[in-house]
Amino acid sequence: MKEMTTFMSKSQHKAKKRNLFIVGILAFFIVIAFFISMNTGYIKLSPTEVIQTFFGYGNEKQQLILFEFRLPRIVIAVLVGMGLAVSGCILQGISRNALADPGILGINAGAGLAVMLFISFFPSTTAVPIFLLPILAFLGAGLTAIIIYTLAYKRHEGISPMRLVLTGVAIAAGISSVMIVLTLRLSPENYQFVATWLAGSIWGSNWKFVLSLLPWILILIPFVFTKARVLNVLNLGDLTATGLGASIEKERRVLLAAAVGLAGASVSISGGIGFVGLIAPHLARQLVGSRHQFLIPASALAGGLLVLVADTIGRWILQPSEIPAGIVVAVIGAPYFLYLLSRLKE
Amino acid sequence: MPVLNVDKVAIGYTSTLIIDGLSVSIPEKKITTIIGPNGCGKSTLLKAISRLLKTKSGAVYLDGRAIHQLQTKEVAKKMAILPQSATAPGGLTVFELVSYGRFPHQNGLGTLTKEDYKHIYWAIDVTGLNEFKDRPVEELSGGQRQRVWIAMALAQGTEILILDEPTTYLDLAHQLDILLLLQRLNEEEGRTIVMVLHDLNHASRFSHYMIAMKGGKLIKEGDPEEVMTFPNLQSVFNIDARMATCPFSNNPICLSYQLYQKNE
Amino acid sequence: MSIRSAEFTEIEKLEEIKKHTHPVIALVVLFGGIFALLIAIGLSISFGAADIKLVTVWTAVFNFEPEITSHQIIRDIRMPRVLGAAIVGSCFAVAGALMQGMTRNPLADSGLLGLNAGAAFMLALCFAFFPGLPYMYLIMYSFLGAGLGVGIVYGVGSLSRGGLTPMRLVLAGAAVSALLGALSEGIALYFQIGQDLAFWYAGGVSGTKWINLQIMSPWIIVAMIGAIILSRSITLLSLGEEVAIGLGQRTKTIKLFGMLIVLVLAGAAVSVVGAVGFVGLIVPHLTRYLVGHDYRWIIPCSVVLGGLLVVLADLAARMINPPYETPIGALIAFIGVPFFLYLARKGGKEL
């Protein structure tokens, strides 16, 4: 190892250290946001109370609030953010399109439709095992992804990034009109639930939801991480990637499935949080560059941080009522997206 | 001794064939250029040679084995490809892009080994990019960027280099710069180079072997003396060329030309 | 060939357009369309919970007797609704035609470019903060909202390097729609006006009253006349800004007026029917396909065909699952989405 670092030029060594440092900083920010978020809510707890309770010295009420309400919600916010961000990171890599995002590509809408169909046919969500939701959402997202991919595919030309985006926008519009039809048939109580869900709120403040989401994130993100170097070369374009010996079609399908899985599972818990998959990877790219070995972890952390902060703001800004995190993210995200759009060349 | 053998290859889409039954051999440790008018199938041939396109019939043989039956990674260890107008994703530094050339030699997470670093630094050095290695690729000029891509292909550490119009969109000096670099790689390292060039005089000056195509067919192959002749240029490009001799390479060049008028 | 001057080719282009315009077909489309529209309006009025014969519709219109119930239903409920549908359709269609011509963007549509979302956002604000605001003010806010949406989209476009490509316009529109949609949702959730807003969002002309038509018609009439006056200039603009300037047109002024007309038309339509998309996309394309590329024909034909489309969609919306109404916006999206996909696929090169 020592020999290697001496072999590496100084600037390479410095760049690597810098990137590790940035990833560390992002993780540190999440910890800070975590404590702030623990403090935010209808019932006030002082920072010392939070820390005391956290280490097991709080009273029963404090423990209930922290461990049964706030903690699972915070964990979910972070996990959802990570899932969406890595999903976006993959989509941007394989489509070579800086604007790809599970939301814009209609994948979130597909997942949303599946969940909504489920809710409208089996209205009492408590009766069914909650871990079904990610699977349903995955199916919905997967089906949508397949439809979009097929429609955007042209023989002899393959997938053009522009056609992919336009097809995604159209399919998303179609799905949202189906959802409107469904919306009007719901009873007012179910409507309120679905509307809140669609707006992207971390509604499942419950450890069960954490457990249903966790395996997807824990399996898929490390898996994607092992594909970092494949993503690196896919990003250079099909011809170059083939020339370097990557089996592009196979890799692209596997990675697309992973992206769909991550987005689907996240959306099933959080509802339609858009823009995370777009912003987080961009932010990460600004910080650590384009190599996916750093880009993936940095995106995941940035995404987790973003959703956690958005959820915290949503809980805090109009107390005692809550604004769904998805709305807060859209308000931050859309302007950023427009900014990116205006800076993009071509 | 040919390293690459193209044997009765047909390439095309469902109904129309772009190339039909073409056979050609690429000599080892030589510079070979493919020339021909627009749409003659020269880029298609290059893509078939580098397995980027599947052949409908016939096969391309690399060291005597059909290229499509080889593991794509194994092929990538023997031959590197620089596609036409390749673009790098934003924010990538020169070092990073060149390091991607090590892809076929890596496994798992892609941590760079000592061997990898050796190849990368050598490639950066030989292409004269040392002072730029930590700069983002998109900030470089067109000529520098093209050298970065060549460096990436070099870092791949292959015997064969395949380039599709490596000098397009470059000004005169930068075109020459790239070609001289390729010539040096061939002379000093003995690499086999295959490329498509638009400029006939460059093709003649720098190559040992030329392939002239028209309408998906092979019209003439051989050394520049054989290919760059008045009748050949007439039949391939429909031009009446005034031939001269290149003062640098002593190969034939085309001084100027007229449109060829057929006598009715 | 290369010696020809730039103007020469421009004139050629114009002649090309003239050659591809078919005045006879255009006249057939225009009058056939009007005839079809009248029949559709008649059918639509006669169809409903209380069965009314076409003859009764005729007498109710031309021989109104206030004491007959069916005449009353026709006058007070069905006629404003169906006329509203026709007007809304015309507005969206002409707005779409103008936008496509001015931006040379085959995918331009007020729904895709953030106008509808902007108007809807403003109306959500009105519902939340000034419930019971009279329609006269509502429509003004709707114009304002449409202006807001399109302002952001074009602002982003004009700030970009490389200008407004179709793709960039669509994406900016999608993002602005997402942003304004999210804000509207937030307001809806907070003020618990969600389902009201959803009904309205889904698009429906059922609530249209005479008073709405009365208030919106002067605006729309002025805008339509403006559109017809501008139509020749739009034809030139559709050849490209440089060509239009080369032919001595003041493109900035034309664009400014064109945009104002679009805002009024789309804003008025959204204030009645909600954020219905795709009408402005489908109708101008269909019209162009039928009558060629001259906007002097495209605009009047779009008026007729747009009205026809929405009247039929509204009729279908009531027929599919009576007594419930299927949201008209969803219905049109079912035609619009495949159409959009077709355009995106076909237009791979020219986009």
The larger pLDDT score, comparing residue C319 to residue A27, is at A27
Verify whether the Cβ–Cβ distance C337 to A321 is below 8 Å: no
Map residue C110 onto helix, strand or coil. Answer: coil
| Number of A–C residue contacts, CB under 8 Å | 147
Contacts of C11 (CB under 8 A, 6+ apart): none
CA of A171 to nearest chain B CA: how many angstroms apart?
27
Would you state the pLDDT for residue B226?
92
Both structure tokens of B199? 């400029």
Of C58, C84, C60, give the one whose Cα is nearest residue C70.
Answer: C60
Of A223, A302, A8, give the one whose Cα is nearest residue B111.
Answer: A8
Helix C166-191 vs helix C194-201: crossing angle, to nearest 10: 150
Would you state the pLDDT for residue C195?
64
Would you state the pLDDT for residue A8?
67
CA of A345 to nearest chain C CA: how many angstroms apart?
6
Verify whether the Cβ–Cβ distance A170 to C168 is below 8 Å: no
Do residues C117 and C180 make contact, with C-beta atoms less than 8 angstroms apart? yes
Would you state the pLDDT for residue C15?
64
Would you state the pLDDT for residue B32?
95
SS (H, E, C) B150-179: HHHHHHCCCCEEEEECCCCCCCHHHHHHHH
CA of A331 to nearest chain C CA: how many angstroms apart?
6
Q: How far is Cα C88 from Cα C110, in angstroms, rounded to an integer?
A: 13
Q: Which of B87, B100, B102 to mutate to test the interface with A (most CBs of A within 10 A)?
A: B100
Chain C CA closest to residue A178: C330
Q: Do chains B and A touch (3 or more CB pairs under 8 A)?
A: yes
Q: Which of C340, C343, C349 to mutate to test the interface with A (most CBs of A within 10 A)?
A: C340
Verify whether the Cβ–Cβ distance C167 to A191 is below 8 Å: no
pLDDT of residue C350 exceeding 50, the answer is: no
> What's the DSSP call for residue B136?
B
Count how many residues are written for chain C: 351
Q: What is the DSSP string of C280-344?
A: HHHHHHHHHHHH-S-HHHHHHHHHHHHHHHHHHHHHHHHHHSTTS---HHHHHHHHHHHHHHHHH
Chain A CA closest to residue B71: A245
Verify whether the Cβ–Cβ distance A166 to C167 is below 8 Å: yes
User: Which of A336-340, C36-40, C59-63 is the least confident region?
Assistant: C59-63
CA of C173 to nearest chain A CA: how many angstroms apart?
9
> What's the DSSP call for residue C74?
I
CB atoms within 10 A of CB C343: 18
Q: Which residues of chain A have pLDDT under 50?
A: 1-5, 346
Pairing of strands B192-196, B31-35: parallel
Would you state the pLDDT for residue B187?
93
Would you state the pLDDT for residue C17?
62
Chain A CA closest to residue B155: A244
Both structure tokens of C291? 């009558």
pLDDT of residue C37 exceeding 80, the answer is: yes
pLDDT digits (tens, 9 = 90+) for C124-179: 888 888 877 777 787 888 888 888 888 888 777 767 666 666 667 777 887 888 88
Closest CB to A170: pick one of C183, C201, C337: C337
Q: How far is Cα B49 from Cα B62, in angstroms, rounded to an integer?
A: 9
Q: Do chains A and C touch (3 or more CB pairs under 8 A)?
A: yes
Residues of A with CB under 8 A from a CB of B: 3-4, 7-9, 11-12, 15, 96, 98, 155-156, 225-226, 228-229, 232-233, 235-237, 239-240, 242-247, 285-286, 289-291, 293
Q: Which residues of chain B have pLDDT under 50?
A: 264
Would you state the pLDDT for residue C11?
60
CA of A257 to nearest chain B CA: how many angstroms apart?
20
Task: List all chains that touch chain C, counting a touch as 3 or more CB pairs closer than 8 Å.
Answer: A
Would you state the pLDDT for residue A3?
45
Amino acid at site A130: I
Q: Which of A1, A154, A290, A346 to mutate to test the interface with B (most CBs of B within 10 A)?
A: A290
A317 in reach of chain C (CB within 8 A): no
Verify whether the Cβ–Cβ distance B91 to A290 is below 8 Å: yes
pLDDT digits (tens, 9 = 90+) for A137-177: 888 888 988 888 888 777 666 666 667 777 887 888 888 77
Would you state the pLDDT for residue A203?
58
Would you state the pLDDT for residue C241?
73
Q: Cα dist. C116→C11, C105, C120 in Å?
A: 37, 18, 6
Do residues B212 and B219 make contact, with C-beta atoms less than 8 angstroms apart? yes
Would you state the pLDDT for residue C90?
92
Mean pLDDT within C238-257: 78
Of B239, B222, B254, B233, give the one whose Cα is nearest residue B30.
Answer: B222
pLDDT digits (tens, 9 = 90+) for B58-78: 899 998 899 888 888 889 999
Would you state the pLDDT for residue C281?
85
pLDDT digits (tens, 9 = 90+) for C188-242: 777 777 666 666 665 566 677 788 888 888 889 999 999 998 888 888 888 777 7
> What's the DSSP call for residue B79?
E
> Which pLDDT band, with edges at 50, 70 and 90, does C348 fall under?
very low
| Ramachandran assignment for C248, one of left (phi > 0), alpha (psi -120 to 50 degrees), beta (any other) | left
Residue B222 β-bridge partners: B210
